[in-house]
């Protein structure tokens, strides 16, 4: 049995992997939250359900921590907390793994961080970027699909209230900060170990509502690729930013919003990123244009054209699996 397991580790993928990714998911405000409280767990995902379920791995950034029923947190403009049903909703929608490392991770305090991990685990949704202790939060999570071992890291470079004093905050013991001093060596060590066929890094950072990331953020993303990341998925600006290629690897500078309601028109257009990875690890990227809101839907016409211009990659049609 041990020999068979070791042989499995030495095998190389022989099938194409389909990985889909979306940006910020906020199930903790207004209509999205109310529908969950009413028991309609698929409301936010219903229109795009077949698409989300059609991937081998579907990833998103969970921007609303899950609060225990006994610890309600009032709604506000800047505090997002979802009810326990949110975890089941993500599972039913087809999400395999979510990032829990972002500036809203502490919106419900320690109790919500713990409840988020507990509920996601119960629902069968993997999470990365938070854990019981900083050392664990900084560990990759490996997803096995179609003979692929896909390792996910997740870090945040934004924090409420003050990112530059992150390590002085109680949340530093629970959430992974995007510090090059540990993330770069961790990626290099993972690549050297041979434990993963593909390394994906999720980064929450940059400037909100900006068309392009600042230079210091681009330097961080480039450093991830230099360390060995095969795909970088970034979010936080709430708007789409162009996909770039560096050292032959794609960097998605901002995935924008997904389940989110904001007033600015550019925050209301986004995409489901489709990444097809061939057995030789070459990647083909495309995107399904999306109208963002409490219940995202497919964007068409001029809106889809805008998504295409903003991302700079081909658009895909929606097909059932």
pLDDT value at 64 more than 90: yes
pLDDT at residue number 321: 35
| 234-256: pLDDT as tens digits | 999 999 999 999 999 999 999 99
Cβ–Cβ < 8 Å for 62, 100: yes
pLDDT value at 289 more than 50: yes
Residue 189 confidence class, pLDDT cut points 50, 70, 90: very high
pLDDT value at 279 more than 90: yes
pLDDT at residue number 4: 46
Cα separations in angstroms, 243 against 71, 82, 228, 287, 311: 40, 30, 18, 11, 6
DSSP string, 94-105: T--EEE--STTT
| 24-45: pLDDT as tens digits | 999 999 999 999 999 999 999 9
- pTM equals 0.94
Residue 72 confidence class, pLDDT cut points 50, 70, 90: low
Of residues 242 and 70, the one with the higher pLDDT is 242
């Amino acid at each position: 049995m041990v020999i068979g397991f070791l042989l499995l580790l030495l095998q190389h993928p022989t099938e194409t992997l389909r990985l889909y990714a979306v940006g910020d998911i906020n199930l903790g405000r207004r209509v999205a939250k109310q529908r969950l409280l009413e028991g309609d767990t698929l409301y936010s995902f219903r229109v795009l359900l077949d698409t989300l379920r059609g991937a081998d791995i579907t990833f998103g950034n969970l921007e609303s921590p899950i609060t225990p029923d006994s610890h309600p947190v009032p709604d506000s403009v800047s505090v997002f907390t979802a009810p326990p049903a949110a975890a089941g909703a993500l599972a039913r929608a087809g999400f395999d793994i979510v990032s829990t490392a972002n500036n809203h991770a502490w919106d419900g305090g320690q109790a919500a961080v713990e409840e988020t991990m507990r509920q996601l685990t119960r629902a069968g949704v993997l999470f990365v970027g938070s854990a019981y202790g900083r050392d664990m939060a900084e560990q990759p999570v490996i997803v096995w699909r179609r003979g692929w071992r896909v390792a996910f890291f997740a870090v945040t470079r934004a924090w409420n209230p003050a990112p530059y004093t992150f390590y002085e905050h109680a949340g530093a013991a629970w959430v992974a900060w995007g510090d090059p001093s540990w993330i770069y060596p961790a990626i290099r060590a993972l690549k050297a170990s041979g434990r993963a066929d593909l390394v994906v890094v999720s980064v929450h950072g940059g400037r909100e509502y900006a068309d392009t990331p600042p230079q210091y953020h681009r330097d961080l993303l480039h450093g991830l690729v230099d360390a060995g990341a095969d795909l970088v998925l970034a979010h936080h600006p709430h708007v789409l930013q162009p996909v770039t290629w560096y050292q032959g690897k794609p960097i998605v500078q901002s995935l924008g919003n997904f389940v989110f309601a904001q007033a600015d028109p550019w925050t209301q257009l986004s995409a489901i990123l489709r990444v097809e990875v061939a057995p030789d690890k070459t990647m083909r990227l495309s995107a399904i244009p999306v109208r963002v809101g409490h219940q995202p839907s497919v964007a068409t016409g001029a809106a889809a054209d805008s998504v295409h211009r903003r991302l700079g990659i081909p658009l895909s049609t929606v097909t059932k699996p």
